[in-house]
Structure 1
Amino acid sequence: MKGTGIRQRLRIAQFATAAAPLALSHRLRAFYVLTKPRVNALIVFCAVIGMFLAVPAGLPDLLTVLAATVGIACVAGAAAAMNCLIEQQIDARMTRTRGRPLPRGDLAPAEVLGFAGVLGGVGLTLLHQAVNPLTMWLTFATFVGYAVIYTVLLKPRTPQNIVIGGASGAMPPVLGWAAVTGEVPPDALLLFLIIFAWTPPHFWALALYRTADYARAGLPMLPVTHGPEYTRLSVLLYSLILFGVSLLPYATRMSGIVYLVAAVALGARFVHYAWRLHRDYSDALARRTFRFSIAYLAWLFAALLVDHYLPL
C-alpha cells in the first residue's frame, strides 16, 4: 500500500509538472489574442509604409523604423486589450467574440488592465526616447481615440460610431510619417484620408452579416438602427467616395502611374462588390466583401510603396 501511494504521488507530480507549461502557454496565448494580432498587423503595415514614403529618396533610418514599428505595435496592442476589457460583457453576448480570453474566463480583468498598462507604457516610452515626442503624443492620442472615445463614447451610442471613430484607425501612416520626419505634411494626411474613407464600408460589410449579433449585444450599428437596405446603400456610396479619395495621391503628384493603375483596379473591384451587395445581397457576399476590403487596403498601400521606389 505504501509503495502504491508513493507511485500515485509521483504520477501526480509528473502530471503537474507537465501541465504547468501547458497552462503558462495557454495564458501567454490569451495575452497575445488580446492584442488582436491580425488587426494589429494591418495597422503596423500601414505605419511602416508611411515611414518609407516619408523619405523622398533612399531608405529611412532603419533603427528609427524598428523602434517606431515596435512602439506603435505595443500601443496598438494595448488599445486592443483595453477594448477587450471595456467590452467584455458585450463580447460575451456576441457569437463572433465570445471566444475571446475575458468572456472565456482565461484572464482576470485586473490582469488585462495591468497588461495593457505595461504594454502601452513600454510602447510610448520607446517612441519618446528612440523616435521623437511628436510620434509619441500622436500615438497616445490615437490610443485615447480608440480605447476611450470610440469604445466608450461612440460605439454604444451612435450608428455613426465607425465614421467618427474611424479617425483613430486612420492614424497609422501619419504616425509612421511623423516617426521619420518629425512632422505631418499634407501627403501624410492624404494617407489618413484614404483609410478614413475605407473604414465605413469595411466595417459595415461585417455588420451586415453580423446584424443579429450586434442587435443581441445592444450595439447601435447601422444595420441595426437603419436596416440592411440603408446600410447596403451606404456601403456603395462610401466605396465610391473611397474610389475618388484613393486617386488623390496621383492627382497631387505624390505617386505615379504604377499606383494609379493599382488604385483604379482595386477601387473598381471594391465598387463592384458594393454594387452587388446593394443589388443582390447575401451573407456570403457580405463576408467576401469584408475580406476583400482588408486585402484592398494592404494592396493599395503596397502599391504606394512600389510606386515610390519604381516610378515610371
Structure 2
Amino acid sequence: MDDVDLNAIRAAADRLRGQAVRTPLLNAPTLDAAFNRRIYIKAECLQRTGSFKFRGAFNTLSQIDGDVVAYSSGNHAQGVAHAAQLLGKHAVIVMPSDAPAVKVANTRGYGAEVVLFDRATESREEIGAALVAERGLSLVRPYDDPRVIAGQGTCGLEMAEDLPEAVSEVLVCCGGGGLTAGVALALQGRATVHSVEPAGFDDVARSLSSGKRQVNPALTGSICDAILTPTAGEITLPIMARLCGAGIVVTDAEALRAVALAWQHLRIVLEPGGAVALAAALFHHKGDVAVVASGGNVDAQVFSEALRSL
C-alpha cells in the first residue's frame, strides 16, 4: 500500500483515460519576451473540477468499494466529490469554514455532503476518523496515499511526452506533496522537479534543505489557501527528498502577480495557490522552464485583486 512507482502511474493513466482531461502545455511568446526565457505552462486549471486533484481522486475512488470521506480546503474536495458522482458513490467532505465560497459551493454542486469545521480549533483528521468509525466510510487522503500520488503523477506522464528536449527543470505547486512527488516520479531521468510554496508555509523547502521533517508554525495566513498544509506526507516527503531539487519560496504578492500575468498573456484563470510555480518561474528562476499551473478555483474578489496589479 505504501509503494508508488512509474508502473502505478501508468496504471492510473489507464483508469483515467476518457475521464480526466489531457491538459495542454501552453506557451505565450509575449510572456517569454517580457521575461527573456521560455516558460511552458501545464494548464491543470483546465482539468475537470478546475484542478489536478481530479486525477488522484478518480484513480483512488475507482479502487474503493462503497462511500467515502475526505478532508480538504477545496480542490481535493471537489475532485473527490466529482469522482464520487461519476462512480455512483456518496462523498462526505470535511472543509474549513474559511475555505473560498466558490470551492464549498462547487463541492456541494457535485452532490457531496459538506461538513464545515474551524481549522484554528478543530482537527480535520479527528473529524474524518470519527466519520469513518460512525458511518463505515473509506477515507481518501488529500496527498499521502499511493493511489492519489499515482493519479497526480499522470500529469507528469503527459509533460514527459510534450516537453521540449531543451527543458530540464519543472516547477510544481506544493502543499502536502502529492502532485510534486507524482510528477517527480513520472519525470525522473527526464527533468529535475522543484517544489514551490508560499512564504511562511515552506515546510517542504525547509525539510529538503535540512534533511529533517519540518512543520509550519501556522495553519492560516496566506492567500494561497489551496496549498496550506502543516507538513509533507509520510509517503510524499521521502520521494521528494530522493528525486527533487531544492524547494523555492514565493510571496503572496508574487503569486497574485502570476495570476494576473497568466490571464494577460494566456487567458487562463489561476488561483494564487495554483500560480506559485509560475511565480517562481517568473521571479526566482533563470533559463527555460516548465511549470504546473495546478488550479483555477479562485473567488471573484481575489481574482479582481490580482488583475488590479496589471
Query: Normalising TM by the smaller chain, what interval?
Result: under 0.3
More strand by share: 2
- Give the TM-score, by structure 2 length: 0.27
Taking CA–CA contacts closer than 8 Å with sequence separation of 6 or more, which of the two structures ends up with the larger relative contact order? 2
The structure with the greater share of residues assigned to helix is 1
Look at both structures and tell me which one has the larger radius of gyration over its CA atoms. 1
TM-score (norm 1): 0.26
